Amino acid sequence: MELVKQARAQVARLELSAAQVAVLDGQAHTARALWNLLHEYVTFRQGRLATLKQCDAAIRAARREIDWLGRLPAQAAQAVLKTYRQAWANFFNPEHPAERPTFKARFRSRPAVDVPQARDLQIKRVNRRWGAVSLPKVGRVRFRWTAGLPGVTQGGPAGRITGARLVKDAFGWQIVFRTETMAAPVTGAHPGPAVGIDRGITVALALSDQTTREHGPWLSAGEKERLRRLEKKSARRRGARTPGQPASRRLTRTYDQIARLRATAKRRAVDWQHRTTTELAATFSVVVVEDLKITNMVRSAKGTIERPGRNVRQKAGLNRAITGEAWGRTVTLLEYKTRDRGGLVVKVPAPGTSQTCHRCGHRDPASRDGTRFSCANPGCGWTGHADTNAAINIRNAAGTVVSGRGDLGAARSAKRQPPRAA
């Protein structure tokens, strides 16, 4: 059987000395500064995208003239250029227009450095728990071994590592390996039924088969209380500080404590999403979801999860950030997990799904009362959970294909159909 290439990413935590952390922090800072230099250069040209050659020449000149730019390994600098150009390409993509590239502000961007060439990494497994990797200008570094890194150990998974990206979160630096493995192609359609999923108001996910997928709070009562106190403290200190001055050491420490609690909540949420999406992709052939544009709700509220902004209402900020981010991630996970199993995610525009009765098609805001849906059409009178009703509408919006087994071609063409009542 012929195998097909499958691109994936695998994350591992790096064990770094304080000096190595400082080197990587410096590289990330420089990468961000380089992005901003490029952006200034392009904006100066009134948005006319400079050619690759021009950008490359600009980077080389900048590296000669600005000595701290030399802190960033040349390959990582090239990766910044590539990512920056891709950001514009995404912006001009007529099918999925992304947001316009902007300057990267210090606290609103995640520190990251690319190691685009796998051969520089020299990955070895040291023992059962640890692996070692070479990072440019940092040296040899240990990382927590993650099962299934392809092409490193004998008898391990076949495939190779094509590059890596170093990313810093509230717990420190991690390495994201880009891997390419060979997998058996999926043959035949997924035998499972189709389902519509609504991102519920009171439950995490409501399914059109009347079941739900729920989870507890991401933080315990004690952790939430601690977060609330820390946020009050940071607000007080922010208010007391002189405008224009950098944050005090104490304020920075409070920010770090907040960031760690939020990262804990996020890690638990991601874990739940992985388990849930695996189960959904194994069960259903076609998963229909509402095509919501997740326009970075998080960032628009001034600040990020790690560095809360001044205008983020404290409790709402966290909840909104996590649920907003979570939905986009759920859909992404479902897309690749269903694809691996011969299934499919169909995104449908589905306005008014929460007000429309799935049985008779009567649309009336009066039908909706909190979590309860009672059809206001006297001839129908369907009652049930409002999120379930919405999930059924979403499934129906994908057209007839989803009532049977996954007819993939038809499901794809059904993407742009307006919602309709069953």
Residues in the chain: 422
Stretch that binds Zn ion, among 39-47, 69-77, 239-247, 360-368 (CB under 5 A): 360-368
- Encoded one letter per residue, x for contact with Zn ion by CB under 5 A and - for no contact, window 299-338 reads ----------------------------------------
**CB closer to Zn ion, 39 vs 362:** 362
**CB closer to Zn ion, 58 vs 422:** 422
**Is there binding between residue 354 and Zn ion (CB under 5 A)?**
no
In whole angstroms, the minimum distance from the beta carbon of 355 to Zn ion comes to: 11
Helix (H, G, I), strand (E, B) or coil at 123: coil
**Is there binding between residue 76 and Zn ion (CB under 5 A)?**
no
Neighbour tally for 243: CB within 10 Å: 4
253-259 contacts at long range (C-beta below 8 A, 24 or more positions apart): 254/230, 255/307, 255/308, 256/170, 257/230, 258/227, 258/230, 258/231, 258/234, 258/308, 259/170, 259/305, 259/306, 259/307
**Is there binding between residue 375 and Zn ion (CB under 5 A)?**
yes
Stretch that binds Zn ion, among 3-11, 221-229, 273-281, 377-385 (CB under 5 A): 377-385
Q: Is 89 left (phi over 0), alpha (psi -120 to 50) or beta?
A: alpha
The beta strands (E) that lie in 95-248 are given as 112-115, 124-125, 130-135, 139-144, 159-169, 172-183, 194-199, 205-207, 212-213
Alpha helix (H) residue ranges in 45-170: 52-65, 74-92
**CB closer to Zn ion, 10 vs 377:** 377
**CB closer to Zn ion, 256 vs 364:** 364
**CB closer to Zn ion, 83 vs 374:** 374
**Is there binding between residue 363 and Zn ion (CB under 5 A)?**
no
Tokens 């701290």 found at? 68
In whole angstroms, the minimum distance from the beta carbon of 385 to Zn ion comes to: 14
**CB closer to Zn ion, 235 vs 360:** 360
In whole angstroms, the minimum distance from the beta carbon of 236 to Zn ion comes to: 52
Residues 6+ apart with CB under 8 A from 151: 157, 158, 159, 160, 161
Q: Please choose, from the candidates 331, 334, 328, 332, the residue with its C-alpha nearest in 3D space to the C-alpha of residue 280.
A: 334
Query: Percent helix, strand, coil in the chain (nearest 5)?
Result: 45, 20, 35
Alpha helix (H) residue ranges in 175-220: none
**CB closer to Zn ion, 328 vs 384:** 384
Among 377, 405, 415, 422, binds Zn ion (CB under 5 A): 377
In whole angstroms, the minimum distance from the beta carbon of 195 to Zn ion comes to: 21
**Is there binding between residue 359 and Zn ion (CB under 5 A)?**
yes
Cα–Cα distance for residue pair 145/151, rounded to 1 Å? 14
Stretch that binds Zn ion, among 195-203, 311-319, 355-363, 383-391 (CB under 5 A): 355-363
Sites for Zn ion among residues 378-407 (CB under 5 A): 380, 382
Cα–Cα distance for residue pair 399/2, rounded to 1 Å? 34
What does the binding site for Zn ion look like in residue numbers (CB under 5 A)? Answer: 357, 359-360, 362, 375, 377, 380, 382
